[in-house]
Amino acid sequence: MSEDMIPVHEQDPMPFECCSKNPCFNECCRDLNQALTPYDILRLKRNLGLSSQGFLKRYTAFHYGPGSGLPIVEFKSNPATGHKCPFVTSKGCSVYADRPGSCRLYPLARAIVMDRETKEVNEYFALIEEPHCKGFGKKTNLTVREWMDGQEVEFHNLHNDKLMELISLKNKILPGTLDGAQSDQFYLALYDQDEFRTQIFEQNILKDFNLPDSFLQTLKTDDEALMDFGIAWVKNMLFGIELNIKE
């Protein structure tokens, strides 16, 4: 843990408040180098009424991790705007209801540790104090947990933890760099969700799997179900883990 990170417990007071009256308002949305998770992209593309491919082409750039081959998707960097987030305005975030999980948690850092035997997940938190941020020292009468509840991070954490579990599994089973086809499968199923759906229903990429019709119908309309299935499909394609889909 770096020196500017202060460990906190979820029942500790949350000494932080972000609001338009702070002199640093919007500064954390500039000089941005922000990775996006699949769930971030799902929420943002729906907010904007775009397909996943339309959103990815317009707002993001991606590269493959040099040591892992895993896709890393980030907001496009724009030096002309000081590398600011494409959705920040003078009044704040224009997609606030569907902002990424890392924006919701800031200035908290979160780490999870899973017990190998019980599978219980424990959370650990720290405050990130950066010089530009003037939101610290405010009295909100909220605990860290209550503050997080107000930021509605639950669904982001839920889906992002599934991604972290998949990456951890990859590092155990396939350490090193994925080949190009494997990386493309990972990107397709988790990031380019609408194209994944198209390939399922128009190109029949699941023809070798005996999936219930009712489940397939769910995948046509339920983005979250499709994301979960994408993780299961990647586990099958990369690691040979059998798909276990029930009626």
The string of pLDDT tens digits covering residues 52-87 is: 999 999 999 999 999 999 999 999 988 888 889 999
Residue span of the structural domain in which 210 resides = 178-247
Compute the distance between CA of residue 61 and CA of residue 35 in angstroms, rounded to an integer: 10
pLDDT, average across residues 213-232 = 96
Is the per-residue pLDDT at 180 higher than 70? yes
| In-domain check, residue 171 | no
Compute the distance between CA of residue 116 and CA of residue 124 in angstroms, rounded to an integer: 17
Where b means 16+ CB within 10 Å and e means fewer, 35-60 reads: ebbbbbbbbbbebbebbbeebbeebb
Specify whether 12 is located in the same domain as 98: yes
Note the pLDDT tens digit of each residue in 89-110: 988 999 999 999 999 999 999 9
Specify whether 44 is located in the same domain as 90: yes
Question: What does the pLDDT read at residue 194?
Answer: 97
- Tell me the pTM: 0.92
Specify whether 241 is located in the same domain as 122: no
Specify whether 226 is located in the same domain as 153: no
| In-domain check, residue 172 | no
Q: Is 230 exposed, middle or buried (0-12, 13-18, 19+ CB in 10 A)?
A: buried
| In-domain check, residue 124 | yes
Give the whole-number percent of the chain exceeding pLDDT 90: 73
The residue among 19 and 13 whose pLDDT is bigger is 13
Q: Reduced to 3 states, what is the DSSP secondary structure of residue 93?
A: strand
Question: What does the pLDDT read at residue 137?
Answer: 83
Specify whether 42 is located in the same domain as 107: yes
Note the pLDDT tens digit of each residue in 17-60: 888 888 888 888 887 788 999 999 999 999 999 999 999 999 99
Specify whether 17 is located in the same domain as 97: yes
- H-state helical runs in the chain: 38-48, 52-59, 101-105, 144-151, 154-173, 180-190, 193-201, 213-221, 223-239
Which of the four pLDDT bands, split at 50, 70 and 90, describes residue 117?
Answer: confident
Specify whether 152 is located in the same domain as 188: no
Specify whether 153 is located in the same domain as 95: yes
pLDDT, average across residues 154-176 = 94
Is the per-residue pLDDT at 246 higher than 70? no
Specify whether 154 is located in the same domain as 219: no
Specify whether 106 is located in the same domain as 192: no
| The pair of three-digit structure tokens given for residue 51, joined into one six-digit string | 């397909």
Please give the tally of structural domains in the chain. Answer: 2
Is the per-residue pLDDT at 2 higher than 70? no
| In-domain check, residue 169 | no
Specify whether 203 is located in the same domain as 115: no
Specify whether 183 is located in the same domain as 128: no
| In-domain check, residue 166 | no
Q: Reduced to 3 states, what is the DSSP secondary structure of residue 127?
A: strand
